[in-house]
Structures are given as structure tokens and as C-alpha cells.
């Protein structure tokens, strides 16, 4: 009876193993998905949070001050990291590591944690303390994997290399691959002696773990590769790309078993297999995680975006709405509530003092701000860029350079934020 109760708690309500389901509640794109050994799903989001799912009910782990890029299970809970440069341990939320750039990947083995950062370094942490930083890559580090014995680390970088490190000495042991483009993802299979990697140019390759020699190549005309996942039985490799496809590769025959257009528009950023290996969980621009049964992958349709701006053809939008869809909609709601978005709601923004929305946690730079949002200040925000107009803000660095585009955006916002209706 106890085992049955655990199963019912962890499996989404109304779904059986091998059925299609979604997990909804985040306020932004899903950046990473992880599955604990006991089956619980965790999702990391652009909305600065991690969701722990019991059935379809989330427990929100809040504490990061920017987008969360990665979450992984440990023997005592979960670890996450993100654009705020920090690594946090849950359920406490304590910061156990800090980089000088965004952290995009984590690996853990018997309490030893490795972190990949765009500051070009790899952090090696234990018991919440830094053991040492590995430096050798010539650009940001995108992926790390630790061997089962905790002695070897594999890393991949924007510099196009895969490097092998001795974790006992902290020394680089080998440069396994020099690819012509940046490498985004790694999957390690020590049992079968191979390493899979995905790159910016669309390359998906399987190489010998010791020599780097090619074993298989699944490069298609899709780029970049943004997600890789290995099934629990190691028989299937899932590949997600920037054009919205999920490819399933049979690692026994090295043949493509499934190939599925998972998104209507936009990338597949996150992939993970269910504990039993029957489903593939995926995330992208939408604020929901989607899970497809692998055996019927192509029978359930693509992700149905909950933000209408992504469903509509940009050519069918007026210019102001198109600017909002491209620059604002991922972070901001037009409805009265902020809805767990990465930024505060824009409902009623005209005439409002910056930093004044009650259900949003602002950066310190906006506490007591004297900025009042109107045509002039919104125009200046996108003319100069948020990082220059409000130094220290959490807003992404972006500009709208054409004055007519800024004017159209402001006109759209004035209409849409008064009514909460984007039409």
C-alpha cells in the first residue's frame, strides 16, 4: 500500500505510464528538466524558480535572482544554478557556490559537484566549499560530466573542445575533441565506452571515450543542438535542437528510432526521460513541460504554446505587437498578476513608479526608484538598453534601435496594458 501511495503522489494525476501529459504553472520557458531516482520531476525555468512536482502540483523553490538554467537531483535533495552566477542547494536554498558568469550545467557524484560557467571556468565543490577552479577552456564552458568513480571530469565549451580532467590533481589530462564550432551538450556512457556531444552547427556525434574516434554521426540540417538525454536503460539517446525537433536514437543499432517536430515554433531547450524510460519530457519557449510516450511520439501533436504571441505568425501581427512578442512577452504578463513571470506584470504600467508591483521581487537598484513609466521613459529604456538606463537591473540586455519600432511598441503597450488584452 505504501508503494502504491508513493506512485500515486509522484505520477501526474490522471496519467498512466506511457501517456501524454503536461505540467503547467511556471511563468516562463522551461530551461531544464531532471528526474530523481524515485521518479519526482524537477523543472528549472526562466521565471527564476525550480518546480518540484508531486502529481501536477508544484512546490516552488524560489531564491535565484535570475533565470535558472539547470537542476539536478542529489542524495539529499536538489542543486540548481542559473544566470545569477550562483549554485543553490535545496530544500534550504543556501548558496553553495558562486561564479563570475552564468552557470549553465551541473554534475554530481557522491557529493562532489562540478559547475560549468560562461566565465570560462569549471568549479569543483564539496560540502558547500570550493575545492578548486579548473581553467583551460578558451571560452565559456557549457557542459560537464563526472565519471562514476569521481576521478575524471569531461567538459565541453564554446571553444569547440571536449577536455578530460583528473579530479584528484585538478590537471587537464587530454583534449578529446576539437570541433569547429562550440559544443553545447554532453552525455556520458561509461558502460558502453562512449561520449555523445551536440554542437552549435547541428553536429550530433558519438565518440570513443578514450580516443575521441567517431562511432556514429547523426548530424542533420538542424542547429544548434540544445539538449541531450540518455534513457535509464541506456538504450535510447534523445536529441533536442533549435528548430524544435526531438530525435530518438537507438544506441544498440545506432539508428534513428523516432524523429518528431515537438514545437510549433522555437527550440527544445530541455529533455529528460521518465524513470521507467517510457516517456520523454521536454521544455522550450512555452511555460509548460510536455511529456510524450516514446512509442506513440508522433501521435500527440506539437507543444501548444500558452502565450498567443508565439502561436501567431509574426507576419500577421501589427509591428507593436510583434516587438512585444520578441522583446517582452517571455518575461512580462499583460494580465493584472505577474503570474510567476521573470519580470513584473505590465498591466497598468503607464503612470506607475518603477519597482512598485507588489507581487514581484525587484533588484535592489529599483528600490525607491524615481522612474515613472510613460512614453518617454519606455522609449529611453529600449533606446539605451536596460543595462545602461537602469544599471544593476535584472532585465536582459537588449535594445530596439529603430525609433519607429519603439513608437509602435509603446502604442501597443498603451492599449494592451490598459485592458489586459493584447488584441
Q: Are 290 and 56 in contact (CB under 8 A)?
A: no
Please give the pLDDT value at position 8.
35
Phi, psi of 317 (to 5 degrees): -95, 150
Question: What pLDDT score does 419 carry?
Answer: 53
Could you tell me what percentage of the chain is helix, strand and coil, using 3-state DSSP and rounding each to the nearest 5? Answer: 15, 40, 45
Classify burial at 36, counting beta carbons within 10 Å of its beta carbon; exposed 0-12, middle 13-18, buried 19 or more.
Answer: middle
Distances in Å between the Cα of 182 and the Cα atoms of 143, 146, 171, 422 are 11, 20, 22, 38
Tens-level pLDDT at each residue, the chain (423 residues): 333 333 333 445 345 557 999 999 999 999 999 999 999 999 999 999 999 999 999 999 999 999 999 999 998 999 999 999 999 999 999 999 999 999 999 999 999 999 999 999 999 999 889 999 999 999 999 999 999 999 999 999 999 999 999 999 999 999 999 999 999 999 999 999 999 999 999 999 999 999 999 999 999 989 999 999 999 999 999 999 999 999 999 999 999 999 999 987 789 999 999 999 999 999 998 899 999 999 998 887 777 543 333 345 667 789 988 888 878 887 888 888 767 877 888 999 999 999 888 887 777 777 778 899 999 999 999 988 887 888 877 777 778 999 998 999 999 999 998 854 444
What does the pLDDT read at residue 138? 97
Largest separation between any pair of C-alpha atoms in the chain: 65
Per-residue confidence (pLDDT) for residue 6, from 0 to 100? 37
Kindly tell me the burial class for residue 56, based on how many C-beta atoms sit within 10 Å of its own C-beta (0-12, 13-18, 19 or more). middle
The residues facing 30 across adjacent strands are: 45
Dist. CA 339–CA 24, nearest whole Å: 12
pLDDT value of residue 312: 55
DSSP states along 228-263: EEE-TTS-EEEEEETTSEEEEEETTTTEEEEEEE-B
Distance CA 189, CA 196 (A): 8
What's the rounded Cα separation, in Å, for the pair 274 and 350? Answer: 45
Is there a contact between 279 and 258 (Cβ–Cβ < 8 Å)? no
Distance CA 129, CA 190 (A): 28
3-state secondary structure 153-212: EEEEECCCEEEEEECCCCEEEEEEEECCCCEEEEEEECCCCEEEEEECCCCEEEEECCCC
CA pair distance 47, 343, nearest whole angstrom: 8
Q: What are phi and psi of 267, to 5 degrees?
A: -85, 165
Cis peptide before 91 (omega within 30 of 0): yes
Whether omega for the bond prior to residue 30 falls within 30 degrees of 0, making it cis, is: no
CA 101 – CA 83 distance, rounded (Å): 7
| DSSP one-letter string for 328-367 | TTTT--SSSS-TT-SS---TT-TTPBTT--TTS---GGGT
Burial of 189 (C-beta count, 10 Å sphere; 0-12/13-18/19+): middle
What pLDDT, on the 0 to 100 scale, is given for residue 250? 98
What integer pLDDT is reported at residue 4 of this predicted model? Answer: 32
Minimal CA–CA distance to 266: which of 30, 7, 17, 19?
A: 30
Domains of the chain: 2-299 (2.130.10.10), 308-419 (1.10.760.10)
- Cβ atoms of 139 and 157 within 8 Å: the answer is yes
Is there a contact between 211 and 222 (Cβ–Cβ < 8 Å)?
no
- Helical pair 375-384 and 403-419, crossing angle rounded to 10 deg: 130
CA distances in angstroms from 416 to 17, 108, 149, 196, 412, listed in the order given? 42, 46, 56, 46, 6
In the numeric block, the cell 560549468 is attached to 116
CA nearest 396: which of 348, 338, 326?
326
Amino acid at each position: 500500500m505504501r508503494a502504491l501511495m508513493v506512485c500515486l503522489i509522484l505520477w501526474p494525476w490522471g496519467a498512466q505510464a506511457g501517456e501524454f501529459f503536461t505540467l503547467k504553472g511556471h511563468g516562463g520557458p522551461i530551461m531544464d528538466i531532471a528526474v530523481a531516482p524515485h521518479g519526482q520531476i524537477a523543472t528549472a525555468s526562466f521565471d527564476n524558480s525550480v518546480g518540484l512536482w508531486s502529481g501536477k502540483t508544484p512546490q516552488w523553490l524560489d531564491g535565484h535572482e535570475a533565470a535558472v538554467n539547470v537542476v539536478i537531483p542529489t542524495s539529499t535533495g536538489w542543486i540548481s544554478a542559473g544566470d545569477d552566477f550562483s549554485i543553490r542547494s535545496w530544500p534550504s536554498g543556501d548558496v553553495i557556490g558562486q561564479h563570475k558568469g552564468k552557470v549553465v550545467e551541473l554534475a554530481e557524484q557522491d557529493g562532489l559537484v562540478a559547475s560549468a560557467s560562461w566565465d570560462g571556468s569549471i568549479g569543483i565543490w564539496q560540502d558547500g566549499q570550493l575545492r578548486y577552479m579548473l581553467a583551460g577552456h578558451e571560452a565559456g564552458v557549457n557542459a560537464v560530466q563526472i565519471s562514476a568513480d569521481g576521478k575524471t571530469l569531461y567538459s565541453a565549451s564554446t571553444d569547440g573542445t571536449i577536455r578530460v580532467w583528473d579530479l584528484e590533481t585538478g590537471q587537464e589530462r587530454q583534449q578529446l575533441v576539437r570541433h569547429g564550432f562550440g559544443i553545447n551538450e554532453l552525455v556520458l556512457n561509461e558502460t558502453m565506452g562512449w561520449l555523445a556531444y551536440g554542437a552549435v552547427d547541428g553536429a550530433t556525434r558519438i565518440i570513443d571515450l578514450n580516443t575521441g574516434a567517431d562511432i556514429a554521426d547523426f548530424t542533420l540540417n538542424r542547429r544548434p543542438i540544445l539538449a541531450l538525454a540518455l534513457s535509464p536503460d541506456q538504450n535510447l539517446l534523445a536529441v533536442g535542437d533549435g528548430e524544435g525537433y526531438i530525435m530518438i536514437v537507438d544506441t544498440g543499432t545506432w539508428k534513428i528510432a523516432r524523429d518528431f517536430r515537438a514545437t510549433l515554433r522555437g527550440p527544445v531547450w530541455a529533455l529528460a526521460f521518465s524513470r521507467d524510460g517510457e516517456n520523454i519530457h521536454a521544455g522550450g519557449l512555452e511555460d509548460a513541460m510536455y511529456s510524450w510516450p516514446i512509442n506513440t511520439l508522433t501521435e500527440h501533436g506539437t507543444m501548444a504554446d500558452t502565450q498567443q504571441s508565439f502561436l501567431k505568425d509574426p507576419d500577421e501581427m501589427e509591428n507593436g505587437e510583434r516587438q512585444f512578442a520578441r522583446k517582452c512577452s517571455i518575461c512580462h504578463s499583460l494580465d493584472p498578476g505577474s503570474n510567476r513571470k521573470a519580470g513584473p506584470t505590465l498591466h497598468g504600467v503607464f503612470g506607475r513608479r518603477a519597482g512598485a508591483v507588489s507581487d514581484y521581487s525587484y533588484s535592489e537598484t529599483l528600490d525607491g526608484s524615481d522612474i515613472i513609466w510613460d512614453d518617454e521613459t519606455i522609449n529611453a529604456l529600449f533606446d539605451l538598453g536596460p543595462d545602461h538606463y537602469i544599471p544593476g537591473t535584472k532585465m536582459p540586455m537588449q535594445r530596439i534601435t529603430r525609433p519607429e519600432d519603439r513608437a509602435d511598441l509603446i502604442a501597443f503597450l498603451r492599449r494592451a496594458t490598459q485592458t489586459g488584452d493584447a488584441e
